[in-house]
Structure 1
């Protein structure tokens, strides 16, 4: 489910890309996310199922899951999320930077982006959901969308949205994000 901020100031909820509706993906409010987590825990307790620490795209991946150096690019939103989480866990700013699309940036923009990326090196990524347009039922066939990540630091959980762009079969985070 995606929450879309519409141009008129209202919100719409949908299972398709917000771009299709003329809106922009917006994070679910923290209280809604907390209720969802609480319900998942309650359901897991009631059914005896285990609840993974990670959510969404990351739920079934080991925390260290990342492509080895030199083995191409992220070819799905799931791999992009896994790469980002593992790089953040390692605190490796250069590996985090590999997930971003640097094309067309000026030197000043690149320096600002690196300052933002350095802040990600001290944060844990505990969940990720990808919202994008799909083709023929394949959730990873999107030309782009939004990667909404749940971050955990000393201040508690928070959500950040990253625009995603697909280029030549590779998925990259766009520099339009703000944390």
Structure 2
């Protein structure tokens, strides 16, 4: 984005996910993402759409039982109502701050969004220097649509390798990696 002088700089919060071989999003939030806004997004948008994209057999007693949900430690993700909702929808199958599987604070950038998606989008979108927030959003949407299945498969394989490296060296390992996508 070409930045001009303003008293109040524009900003936008972005959510995205990688599920299987596809990128979900980006989803934009104009206002700060509070726990209440995030919970509403999960309840009304994300979880119902994931159930449609990845249906369980009708006889399944737990909806979404074939999905594991992972999130980072953002304050909105840590809100008690959010954690309670995730416990109901993904019982024992979500990873995050104070979840059934704790994602450690200050952990290495081993998630696909951290080590791949955000940097990839930035490198692609900012080549054209978006003139405003709407151009930035449209550039992100377009670049997400252009990510190939092969790239996502490579990212998923890299994620598994990163988890293995992390276990092997018991912590930081990124200096061991030289991967291009």
Q: TM-score range by the shorter chain?
A: under 0.3
The structure that is strand-richer by fraction is 1
Give the TM-score taking structure 2 as reference length. 0.26
Give the TM-score taking structure 1 as reference length. 0.26
Larger radius of gyration: 2
The structure that is helix-richer by fraction is 2
Higher RCO (C-alpha under 8 Å, 6+ residues apart)? 2
